Amino acid sequence: MVKLRKQRRRKVYRHNVNRKRLRNKINNPGSIGCKDVKDAWDHSKSIPTNMKAMGLSYNPNDTIKIPNNKNNYKASIMSNEEFEWQEEDLEEDQLPNKAFVVEALEADAKAPRVKKFRLPNSALEWVKYLLKKYGHDYKAMAKDRKNYNQDTWKQIRQKVRTFKKIPEQSSEFLKEIGMESEENVDMSDDEL
């Protein structure tokens, strides 16, 4: 009887929960972000079946099994044979029929990416100020009164090099102050 009373006490209507939205959230299968997988997806099949048809792995633990060396070694000792690794090959009937998805994913992974790295405005203004005032004298930059972070001259040199590697941010400024090209700068930096 006590157990039933506790169960009844737990069943309290929660006014702050939208049950329709909660049900839709639980039953929602989610969206597929990859265009290639989304185009090849068959909604009448289950997730593991779809993944297998595309040549993808639903559960990597099942796909790439970790060999149990202890049992294999025991079996080889019992039969007095040499212990060898055995690799499983896919048979022709097991090959995925939507192999173009895997090829498209591999091509996308190998494609070169555009670097979107930008310096924040505070660091940008700091480096511009130092280059305007000191040129390439990094030891003088380290002694500047506005060096609040107490960067060493090598840290400042690295920040300047990073700034020069971003042409969208640095090209106009370097032309404005008449700095030489990046190759010449790197040569002179190493002499310090």
| Tally: H helices and E strands in the chain | 12, 0
Residue 47 lies in a domain: no
Q: What is the pLDDT of residue 31?
A: 86
Q: Are 54 and 96 in contact (CB under 8 A)?
A: yes
Q: What are the pLDDT digits (tens) for 26-84? A: 888 788 888 999 999 998 998 899 998 998 989 988 888 777 778 777 777 777 655 55
Residue 87 lies in a domain: no
Number of domains within the chain: 1
Residue 65 lies in a domain: no
Residue 139 lies in a domain: yes
Q: What is the pLDDT of residue 81?
A: 57
Q: What is the pTM of this model?
A: 0.46
- Domain range for 185: 121-190
Residue 162 lies in a domain: yes
Residue 127 lies in a domain: yes
Bigger pLDDT: 22 vs 91 = 22
DSSP letters, 21-84, are HHHHHHH-------HHHHHH--TTS-HHHHHHHHT--S-HHHHSPPP-HHHHHHHHHHTT----
Q: What are the pLDDT digits (tens) for 141-190? A: 999 999 999 999 999 999 999 999 998 888 888 888 887 545 444 545 55
Residue 143 lies in a domain: yes
Does residue 88 surpass a pLDDT of 60? no
Residue 147 lies in a domain: yes
The angle subtended at Cα 82 by Cα 80 and Cα 85, nearest 5°, is 135
